[in-house]
Structure 1
Amino acid sequence: MANTYTQLYVQIVFAVKGRQHLIPRHRKEELHQYITGIVQNRGQKLLAVHCMPDHTHLFVGFSPTLPIADLVRDVKQATSVWVKEKGITRSTFSWQEGYGAFTYAQSQVTDVVQYVLNQEEHHRKRTFRDEYIAFLERFEVPYDARYVFDFYDNYPQQPDQ
């Protein structure tokens, strides 16, 4: 659209179903590259991505022509298929339903990029559950703690490979 100007920055966070540790450390860079391609092919600008064994953070500069939900759906669907095709995990892989999306100002971009890229360090001090609840509270997102995560306590956690 002519004469439409926007500046939209969104951090998106979503978890592996059951919060299983299924993204092996030695394969995450490949997954980062694959996600980057998906985001770019949808006409968005990926500012940062980091996959932990049980969850993923994306920081995206959004064009208003694409709903956030559509991008998240596309990333989750394509990466689920990709993980299965590549044989990245011996377990059944899928993402948990839902996601968190949190907006930021231009003045916060550098800090958020660093935050996303430094996930390994952050999670030495804070669990993903604590991190996610903190996002919901800081951004004043109403939630019911019973439904924030889908845990499969009976599933064995794969060690980082």
Structure 2
Amino acid sequence: MSYIRIWVHLVFATKNREPLLTKEVRYKVYEHMIENCKEKSIFLQTINGYTDHVHCLISLGRAQTISKVTQLIKGESSFWINQNQLTTNKFMWQDDYYAVSVSESNLQAVINYIKNQEVHHTKKTFDHEVQEFVKIYGFSVLK
């Protein structure tokens, strides 16, 4: 039997980073994403975010790719948000996303970071956070 554990910290934002994920909306969306991931055999360890983005800690299965898992989470959730009219305008995620591997030794730190997004973003904007990611990991800026 194969044993695979590949942890990925996945972050994606609303189209144009519009603050559409109000507190009421985002918790409904998170609950739905959790159920959707279970149905699609995506191991979602932790999820949280703020008004314009979502953080997920996932463990990839042996036949899963980051792009496919991301597509399943984002595509289905935007469809569900629109179907349930959780926003006044059509909801969309931006095309880009951020994904980095997480080592077992840093797992709890990433879980805590994701769980504390609301407090974190009272001190730091998502734009500032993106700039830190760019600096640390050498990424191009997400638009």
For normalisation by structure 1, the TM-score amounts to 0.82
Amino acid at match of 2:65: P
SS of alignment partner, residue 48 of structure 1 = strand
The equivalent of 1:11 in structure 2 is 9
- The Cα of 1:141 is off from its aligned counterpart by 3.4
Amino acid at match of 1:141: G
Taking the TM superposition and a 5 Å limit, the aligned residue runs for 1:82-93 are 82-93=80-91
The equivalent of 1:79 in structure 2 is 77
Q: Runs of 4+ in structure 1 displaced over 6 angstroms?
A: none
The equivalent of 2:45 in structure 1 is 47
- 5+ unaligned residues in a row in structure 2: which ranges? none
Percent of aligned positions that are identical: 24
Does the CA contact (< 8 Å) of 1:80 and 1:95 recur in 2?
yes
SS of alignment partner, residue 18 of structure 1 = helix
Aligned residues between the structures? 143
**How big is the alpha-carbon RMSD for the aligned residues of Structure 1 and Structure 2?**
1.4
The equivalent of 1:123 in structure 2 is 121
Structure holding more helix per residue: 2
Q: Which has the higher contact order (CA 8 A, sep 6+)?
A: 1
Amino acid at match of 1:108: N
- 5+ unaligned residues in a row in structure 1: which ranges? 150-161
Does the CA contact (< 8 Å) of 1:10 and 1:62 recur in 2?
yes
Instruction: Pick which of 42-51 and 117-126 moved more.
Output: 42-51
- The Cα of 1:41 is off from its aligned counterpart by 2.3
Distance 1:124 1:37, change over 3 A: same
For normalisation by structure 2, the TM-score amounts to 0.92
Amino acid at match of 1:101: A
The answer as to 2:104 corresponding to 1:106 is yes
- The Cα of 1:25 is off from its aligned counterpart by 0.6
Distance 1:38 1:136, change over 3 A: farther
The equivalent of 1:152 in structure 2 is none
SS of alignment partner, residue 14 of structure 1 = strand
Distance 1:141 1:63, change over 3 A: farther
Report Cα offsets for 1:47-75 as digits up to 9, x if no partner.
11013111111111221311110111111
